[in-house]
Structures are given as C-alpha cells and as structure tokens.
Amino acid sequence: METNLYTLLPEIVLLLAALAAMLLGMLKNDRLRASAQILALLGLLAAFGLATGFLPGIPAGLVSPLGQFVSVLTAAAGFMAILVAWDMPSTDNPSETDKHYRAEFYSMLLFSLAGVSMMGKVNDLIWMFMALELVSIPTYILVATGRGSIQAQESAIKYFFLGALAAAIFLFGFSYLYGFAGDTRLASIGTTLMTAINAHEVPPLATIGIALAIIGIAYKIAAVPMHFYAADVYQGAATPVTAFLAFAPKAAGFVALIQILGLTQWEFPGLGGQSLIAMLTVLAVLTMTVGNTLALMQRNIKRILAYSSIAHTGYMLVGLVVGPTLIGGDASRDGIAATLFYLVSYAVVNLGVFACLIYLQGKPDSAEEVEDLSGISKAHPWTALGMTICLLSLIGMPLTFGFWGKLYLIQSAFSAGHSWLAIIMVINAAIAAAYYLRIIAAMYLRDPWLPIVPRKSIPVGIAAVTCSVGVILLGVFPQFILQWTRVLTLK
C-alpha cells in the first residue's frame, strides 16, 4: 500500500488543479483568471469520482475505508465550499466581485483540501505532519488576504503564530514517539506500542508523546486549551474563508487524532494508568462547556458560530473518548463512527449556515451582529428558512440531520459506560439551544429595521439550497450515511 502511488490519485488531482489555478492567477486576462473557479470545481469532481470509484484509476482494495471516507467527504464538502466562495468578493467592497480575480485564492483552497484528503491515507509520522501543515498553511494565507480590513490582518497574525506554536507542539510529540519506537511509520509504532501496553511497561516517553500530539492537534479542531484563536480568527476572516475554516482543519484534526489514538487501539489502561482517557474526557467536557457558555455572551454572528464550532468539537471528542468497537464490528458502540457521522452532518450544516450568511452580506460590514438579522424573514423568507433549518440542526431538533448525530454520540457514550459524559453532553445541547434560538428569534420574531442588500450569486444559492434540503432529507433518511460511517472500525 505504501508504495502504490495510485492510491493517492484524488490528492494528486487536487494538487495539480491547485497548481494550475495558481498558474492561471499569473495571467493578465481577467476572464481566464476567473476560470480558476471552474477549474477548482472540475478538479473536485474528478477527485470525488476517483475516490468513490466512478472514475477508474485507484487499484481496488488498497485504500483503507477511512482513507476513502475522508477523500469522498473532502471532495463533496470542498465542492460546496468552492460554490460558497464563488466570485470571491473584492477586498474593499464585498458586494462587488473582485474584478482582478484572485485565482490563487482557489488554489490555496485546493491545496488545503488536498491536505485534508490526504489525512485519511497517511501511514507515517512525517507524512502526517506534512499533511497537517498542508491543511493549515494555505488557510493562513486565506485569512490574511481574504479581506482588506485590519481585522483580517490581525486575525491572520494570531492564527499564524498560534498555529506555528501548535505545529511545534505536535511535532515535538511526534519526535518523542519516534524516540520511543525507533521508526516513523505508524504501523510499526503501533506494534511497538501494543507490545508495551500488553506487557504493562509503557514508558513515559510514549505517553508524553501521544499527549503532546493530541494537544497540538487540538489547535486544529479548536479544542480547549487551544481554542483561544477561534473567535477572533472566524470574525476577522472573510466569511467564505470562515466557512472553510470551520470544517476543513477540523476534519483533518479529527482524522489525525483517530489515527494517533488508533496506535493505542484504545487500550488506555496500559498507558500511564487512566491518564490519557482522563485527559481526553476532561478535554471533551471543557471544550463543550467553554464553547457553549462563551457563545451565550456573543453578539457577533461569526463569533457565535466560532464558539458553537468549539462546542461541536467537544461533542465529537466524546466519540473519541468512547472509541470504536473492536469486537464483532457492531456499529452501535462505535464512537469513531459516531464522530465521523457527526463530522459529515456538521460539514453539511456548517456550509448551509455560511452560505445563507454570505448571501446576506451584500454590503461591507452587513449581517455582522445578530441585530442586523432582525426581521429578514419578511424580505428574504427562503434565506431565513434555510438558515433556520441549519440552526435547528445545530440545536439537535428532531427531523434534522444534526439530531441523529447527537443521538449516535449519546448512544455510543452510554454503550461504553460513559454515562456522565452523555448527561453532560445532553445538558450542553440544551444550553446551546439558547444562542441558536436567539438568531432564529431575531430573524422571525423581530421587526426589520436595517434593509439587507443580498449578494446575488447563483452558486451561493445552490449551495444554500442543497445543504438545507440535505439537512432535512438526511434528517428523515439517515440510514445511508450511517451505513457509510459504519465500515470504519479499526483493524
């Protein structure tokens, strides 16, 4: 598997598309530069086809189920993300498209997506580090150049410095793992670790290495204690960039965590007693609680969505604490499948919310605060409806996709004996309803006072409609996605 380059075909296609888009960005003709968007879409379609098997190219049976899942999810979500970022607005005036189409914007998106897609297939520590950085570094550029305002520059600096710090932390952890196992390949580290666990002689080197790796990757997923950047960066970046940030690094981070924790086969008792599982549990509880309580105090929509993103990371961490079923492959106790299912639902819903928000941001600094959304259900009923559907899914209202995600996580938590974690998660879901409801209440229950100038963009509309309809359809028929995430138990 390691030597067959064809397994990386979707990622290669994405990288080639990214390079082509960057080259297009150097041309003088504006029309040609605009075609970078279409190139990006085509590249993602090709990657999707290759990953799912519609297009031949990947030898069968060589890609792990996790790798295929991540590639398909990335291609699909990336497609929606490009639609959401279509006709990237000018840095000065968001209501106008940038006449000098910045094609390198789309090439950065594609680079980052290639990194996410690669995360499912990494089998080496160095490759994992490289993939994680491939996800992050383009996002630093996206945050810095997406908007002309000083806020974007400030958030880019914060994001970059803290990201570099986090990268240093998890690289340090990786170095300890290498020191412990003598090899960078994940398979051999896993074997060495399992031998040590079974012999009850795990050196602190390994435990610290894994702990540092987890903390470093926690930055990507915006988990406590590495969550401080989220609110400012989400608020300062351009909204299409925020939409991308809210799911791409998160997906990459979670897949990385699954692979790191997979080295231990979730046999935590051997590793420094219960310390690792205690650390993860505390991380999950703190992340959920901090995310939800701080979101209650926010007035800016993107900050609310940032803290809500932190809270959803907390829910997904519960699935990581539970771990997969290793016996018999029964899906119901599979915390990893629950996390991945929640990731899918979060990607769909997140893109839906941001697509609706982008539609409303036709003027600079419009639709920033919750008050700006007052009463838009009268002037823009369909946008309000789409946003409400996605927000109800984030609350976890039945008949939406998000409800099944929460149900799966609660079920897996109870099944593994983590009853208290399930109760805390449930309480947090109830607290979260308060701030989502505030947005819905503003849209429907208040009188309009500020006319919103919409950004008429058909691709954004397509993305919003697809995501909202998807939330309801998958809310009534989630079986297919459940079946898809089910096959991802570790070997």
Q: Which of 32, 278, 296, 441 binds another protein (CB under 8 A)?
A: 441
If one asks whether residue 173 binds another protein (CB under 8 A), the answer comes out as no
Which of 97-105, 212-220, 353-361, 435-443 is the region at the interface with another protein (rule: CB under 8 A)? 435-443
Which string of DSSP letters, residue by residue, matches 400-458?
SHHHHHHHHHHHHHHHTT-HHHHHHHHHHHHHHHHHHHHHHHHHHHSPP-S-------H
Where does residue 131 rank: exposed (0-12), middle (13-18), buried (19+ CB within 10 A)?
buried
Q: Is 487 in the site for another protein (CB under 8 A)?
A: no
Stretch that binds another protein, among 97-105, 249-257, 278-286, 407-415 (CB under 8 A): 407-415
Smallest distance from another protein to CB 308, Å: 16
Stretch that binds another protein, among 17-25, 303-311, 392-400, 456-464 (CB under 8 A): 392-400
Q: Read off the amino acid at residue 63.
A: V
Helix, strand, coil share of the chain (percent; to 5): 75, 0, 25
Are 346 and 391 in contact by the 8 Å Cβ rule? The answer is no
**Cβ closest to another protein, residue 98 vs residue 369:** 369
CB 295 within 8 A of CB 364: no
Q: Which of 196, 344, 410, 460 binds another protein (CB under 8 A)?
A: 410
d(CA 39, CA 60): 27
Least distance CB 406 / another protein (angstroms): 8
Contact 269, 323 (CB under 8 A): no
387: tokens are: 């946003």
Report the C-alpha gap between 20 and 33 in whole angstroms.
11
444 interacts with another protein by CB under 8 A: yes
| HSE-up (13 A, CA, CB side) for residue 92 | 3
Binding mask 282-321 for another protein (x = CB under 8 A): ----------------------------------------
Comparison of 185 and 446: residue with beta carbon closer to another protein: 446
Q: Write down how long the chain is.
A: 491
Which residues touch 7 (CB under 8 Å, ≥6 apart)? Answer: 1, 58, 59, 62, 63, 67, 121
Smallest gap from Cβ 288 to another protein, in A, equals 13
Q: What is the CA angle 184-490-423, rounded to 5? A: 115
> Rule CB under 8 A: is residue 453 a binding residue for another protein?
no
Number of residues that bind another protein (CB under 8 A): 35
- Tell me the window of 107-115, 173-181, 261-269, 410-418 that interacts with another protein (CB under 8 A): 410-418
As measured in angstroms, the least distance from the Cβ of 379 to another protein is 13
Q: How far is it, in rounded angstroms, from Cα 219 to Cα 212?
A: 11
Of 411, 457, 468, 489, which one interacts with another protein (CB under 8 A)?
411
Region from 28-36, 134-142, 257-265, 478-486 binding another protein, contact rule CB under 8 A: 478-486
Radius of gyration of the chain (CA): 21
User: Residue from 205, 379, 399, 458 that binds another protein (CB under 8 A)?
Assistant: 399
Q: Does 478 bind another protein (CB under 8 A)?
A: yes
Backbone angles phi, psi at 14, to 5 degrees: -65, -40
> Among the candidate windows 28-36, 228-236, 313-321, 444-452, which touches another protein by CB under 8 A?
444-452
Using alpha carbons, list the distances in angstroms from residue 9 to 116, 274, 298.
14, 41, 43
Which residue from 304, 331, 373, 474 is in contact with another protein, where contact means CB under 8 A? Answer: 331
Is 40 one of the binding residues for another protein (CB under 8 A)?
no
Backbone CA torsion sign across 70, 76, 81, 86: positive
Q: For the CB of residue 487, give the shortest distance to another protein in the complex, in Å.
A: 12
List the one residue from 407, 450, 462, 465 that touches another protein (CB under 8 A): 407
**Could you identify the residue written with the tokens 């950004």?**
455
Closer residue to another protein, CB minimum distance, 38 or 434: 434
User: Taking each helix axis from N to C terminus, what angle separates 239-263 and 229-236, rounded to the nearest 10 degrees?
Assistant: 150
Cα torsion angle, 78, 81, 82, 83, sign:
positive
Of 135-143, 232-240, 289-297, 439-447, the segment contacting another protein by CB under 8 A is 439-447
**Phi/psi at 28 (nearest 5 deg)?**
-85, -30
- How near is the Cβ of 486 to another protein at its closest, in Å? 7
Question: What is the footprint of another protein within residues 415-434 (CB under 8 A)?
Answer: 415, 419, 422-423, 426-427, 429-430, 433-434
Measured distance CA(159)–CA(306) in Å, rounded? 14
The contact set with another protein (CB under 8 A) reads: 331-332, 392, 395, 397-399, 403-404, 407-408, 410-411, 414-415, 419, 422-423, 426-427, 429-430, 433-434, 437-438, 441, 444-446, 478-479, 482-483, 486
